[in-house]
Structure 1
Amino acid sequence: MPGLRSKSLLTSAALALLLTASAALAQTGPLTGTGKPGTKSLVPMPYNANPEVALNIDVSRRQPKIGEMVELCFSASRTGYVTVWDVGTSGRVARIFPNQHAGTAASATQVNGGQRYCAGTDGDPFAFEVSGPTGQDELYIVWTATAELQPQRADFATAAELSAAFEDLKRKAPDSWATFKTAFEIVGPDGPVAPPLPPPQNGGASPPAPLPDAAPAPGQAPAPVPPASQTTAAAGAQVYILAMGSNVKPLTKSNQDAAMFVDGFRRLFSVPSSNIRVYNNVYRAQFKEGMEWLRERAGPKDFVVVYYSGHGAQIPDDDGDEADGLDEVFVTYDVEGKARPSADDLVRDDEYAAWVNGLQTNQVLSVIDACHSGGLTRGVGEVVMGANPKFYVVPNLGPQAAPVAQGNGAVMPVAMRSLAPAVTRAKNTPKGTTLAAAREDQSALEAETGSLFTLALLETLSRERSGTMADMFALTSRMVEARTGSRQTPVMVGERTVAERITIQP
């Protein structure tokens, strides 16, 4: 049984409504390029973050195991009609609410504005059971002012068919409909399993050279590194790696991204574990602690790599240095579960630049797998099924600042801005080279096996035998652009010389 299924609790008969993903999503698509069955393609869906209708939907478990039961809760700030659609993991799409076990034949459920509704709870005549296969399951909630605007069918063979059924909505008045999407990961009985990192095919990277291991640093240390004989490097220089993940919902792969990145780069540079810090679900205080560790440890000749995977966001500028009045921020794990996160729960771009610029070395490579601009946080457009945008719309900021967006919660703008610091703004531009996951007008995407930019960068580094990091990044950018149909194009900003000095050797 694919994805979720609703099962009647009124009788012992197995009255199962199969909730399955689209055939397009079940095909081996261009999203990650793994060639494995179940890899999801990008399927555009109508999207409208109607500023007059705040939608939200949550699933009770972020990573449910096959066979477990889950509950769904949703709300709309305005009275109207709602349907909830499941784009599951096996190849089909179906409406999970209302469903045939809910005691109504209606094609949509009328909801009162501001009221929270839950389905699959103890008081319902049905339950939602998680079925296989494993992978990313997506929930798409649609609000309309009238029931007639909703599709009358309850299931579709493909996500493309569902998209076509909603295509007419784009031609309706923007205030008559709204959409929102979230996702969760279905895992096997043993929990989530990270995909293996391909073994490096090249010999190593230069500069610099490792030194013998010292006492383990605080934080999460990886396994011992391979022999250093593969790397010829600048004498006396060391590499330091700070890697951070933040699985703020609906993201589930950010911590895995950080672990895979560290595994790839420590092998590439033969980095001792004492020179590495990894933070899973990083909090703001840990982010700052890690940067302080780099400031104290890395000398003028050393090389620093800072990696972050998670959401980016925008909040009102606090010091007047932003032309658009907004600061880009890293969304640390402080915000998880908070209805009103404050600015103190985030890391501003100005702060990050100050921390980087305070390092003793100028050789800094920032690798940012996030996006930092809301783009179309209001308005009609498309959202893709098969991947999660890594942008967080701060739902209701605390007293330090006004809300950024009053629309659809914490996900789903169409156009985004990556952390690509403007060269004309020295204050919030970190020194060194920044490898950003997407252009200003795009989203950085997380797929079933990890974030696309990180996966592609590691794949490139494991395959190519020679060249500079700048060369590796150019190949990575083209790979991501091709696999996403030009929906995501990584960009390099800052001083290219840092990336050009890193040489991959056979």
Structure 2
Amino acid sequence: MASSTHGRSVPKHQAVSLHIGLNSVDPAHYGGWSGELSACEFDANDMAAIAKVQGMKATVLLTKKGTRAKVLSSIRAAAKALKSGDLFFLSYSGHGGQVPDVTGDEDDKQDETWCLYDAQLIDDELYHELGRFRAGVRIVVLSDSCHSGTVTRDLPATVAIVPTAQPSQRPKLMPRSVGLRTYRDNQAFYDRLQREVAKAAGDGVIDPDQALANVAVSSRLTGVVRNFKAAAVLISGCQDNQTSMDGAHNGAFTEQLLAVWNNGGFKGSYASFHARIRARLPPTQSPNLFALGAAGALMAQQPFSV
């Protein structure tokens, strides 16, 4: 549909969204672990409801449909279709995991992952896929999951990884033993994925964990994806040394996001949206805010505006 300005037809921006929610994973890939959760499918459906009200074309992938092939295919289709000014909204609710980083500067680095149904999606891959979007495309990513790579790598033994939870809650954290077993059984697969991304990105790629930890220094971001043309805002459910909690009806992060959003009643920027959500969560779970590309203008916009 188009509007008219001084006799000229001005096309409306396109907006598409992808919402992934996994209440379990395939134990055949994860060493016998199914990772049962309760609220992730609710989270995905609730995010899709926001997208539809805002006029987006929404795709929802729940549990068994949340495979690597379907997720990557959906992201790539959006990258191919969207042009400058268009919007891509991506949400994930499920377990966070880890694989050893085989392309970074330190041998003991761990790459963060989303635990998709049939295998993990490595953060290097995600950022590389976002780098496929055209200049001027706006990207919003919400991740209600644990970033367990840094959690299990850096916390001293005296610090508890899992915060105090309500009876209805459980951490969205793939246990370290499961992560090690999954990587051991599929090492060639995960190592190949990382090397393919590094090769596609070119020499000198910087580890995404390191780049995002220094998000204020724009020169570091170019190492994630060398030619990142789009503008992306990413809000994660917790800090790297914390755990995102599941719930009976929504994950803790998504529950507070919905409360702040207030059925569209929230008025403000992505920055204030993040701050309001963070203020409603306990000190044990503090959502993080990242940016990729020239995201200043996007950060100032009303959340989910097409």
Answer whether TM exceeds 0.5 for this pair.
Answer: yes
- The answer to whether the Cα contact below 8 Å between 1:247 and 1:333 also exists between their aligned partners in 2 is no
CA distance in 2, matches of 1:479, 1:349: 27
- The answer to whether the Cα contact below 8 Å between 2:16 and 2:88 also exists between their aligned partners in 1 is yes
Aligned to 1:327: 111
CA distance in 1, matches of 2:40, 2:211: 19
SS at match of 1:421: helix
Q: 1:322 to 1:447 in 2, by over 3 A?
A: farther
Deviations 1:227-261 (A, max 9, x none): xxxxxxx9521211111112232312111110011
| Bigger Rg over Cα | 1
Aligned to 1:359: 133
SS at match of 1:467: coil
Q: 1:310 to 1:496 in 2, by over 3 A?
A: farther
Aligned to 1:400: 187
2:139 pairs with 1:348? no
Q: Which amino acid aligns with 1:400?
A: Q
Q: 1:467 to 1:260 in 2, by over 3 A?
A: same
Aligned to 1:476: 277
Deviations 1:119-176 (A, max 9, x none): xxxxxxxxxxxxxxxxxxxxxxxxxxxxxxxxxxxxxxxxxxxxxxxxxxxxxxxxxx
Pick the structure with more strand per residue: 1
Give the structure-2-normalised TM-score: 0.70
2:284 to 458, 483, 487: 487
1:279 to 44, 54, 61: 61
Q: Which amino acid aligns with 2:59?
A: R
SS at match of 1:243: strand
- The answer to whether the Cα contact below 8 Å between 1:250 and 1:388 also exists between their aligned partners in 2 is no
Q: 1:475 to 1:466 in 2, by over 3 A?
A: same
Which runs of structure 2 are paired with 1:78-157 in the superposition (5 Å)?
none
Aligned to 1:421: 212
Q: 1:322 to 1:426 in 2, by over 3 A?
A: farther
Aligned to 1:244: 20
Aligned to 2:300: 500
SS at match of 1:327: strand
Which runs of structure 2 are paired with 1:62-461 in the superposition (5 Å)?
211=1, 236-248=12-24, 249-267=35-53, 269-271=54-56, 275-281=57-63, 282-320=66-104, 324-334=108-118, 345-360=119-134, 361-374=136-149, 375-376=151-152, 379-382=157-160, 383=162, 384-386=164-166, 387-392=169-174, 393=176, 394-396=179-181, 397=183, 398-400=185-187, 421-422=212-213, 423=215, 424=220, 426-428=222-224, 431-461=231-261
Q: 1:255 to 1:321 in 2, by over 3 A?
A: farther
Q: 1:315 to 1:270 in 2, by over 3 A?
A: same
- The answer to whether the Cα contact below 8 Å between 1:371 and 1:391 also exists between their aligned partners in 2 is yes
The number of equivalent residue pairs is: 242
Determine what percentage of the aligned residue pairs are the same residue.
22
Q: Which amino acid aligns with 1:458?
A: L
Aligned to 1:96: none
What residue ranges of structure 2 are gaps of 5+ in the alignment?
3-9, 25-34, 191-208
CA distance in 1, matches of 2:110, 2:273: 32
CA distance in 2, matches of 1:313, 1:445: 14
What residue ranges of structure 1 are gaps of 5+ in the alignment?
1-210, 213-233, 335-344, 404-417
Q: 1:426 to 1:370 in 2, by over 3 A?
A: farther
Deviations 1:425-472 (A, max 9, x none): 544367511111111211111122211111111111116442223222
CA distance in 1, matches of 2:304, 2:81: 25
CA distance in 2, matches of 1:347, 1:445: 20
CA distance in 1, matches of 2:52, 2:106: 36
- The answer to whether the Cα contact below 8 Å between 1:316 and 1:402 also exists between their aligned partners in 2 is no
CA distance in 2, matches of 1:329, 1:465: 31
Deviations 1:190-209 (A, max 9, x none): xxxxxxxxxxxxxxxxxxxx
- The answer to whether the Cα contact below 8 Å between 2:51 and 2:58 also exists between their aligned partners in 1 is no
Q: Which amino acid aligns with 1:501?
A: Q
Pick the structure with more helix per residue: 2
CA distance in 2, matches of 1:350, 1:434: 14
- The answer to whether the Cα contact below 8 Å between 2:17 and 2:89 also exists between their aligned partners in 1 is yes
CA distance in 1, matches of 2:46, 2:288: 21
CA distance in 2, matches of 1:316, 1:367: 24
SS at match of 1:301: coil
Deviations 1:298-353 (A, max 9, x none): 1222011111111111111132256852211111011xxxxxxxxxx211111100
Q: 1:442 to 1:449 in 2, by over 3 A?
A: same
CA distance in 2, matches of 1:256, 1:262: 10
CA distance in 2, matches of 1:258, 1:242: 9
Give the structure-1-normalised TM-score: 0.44
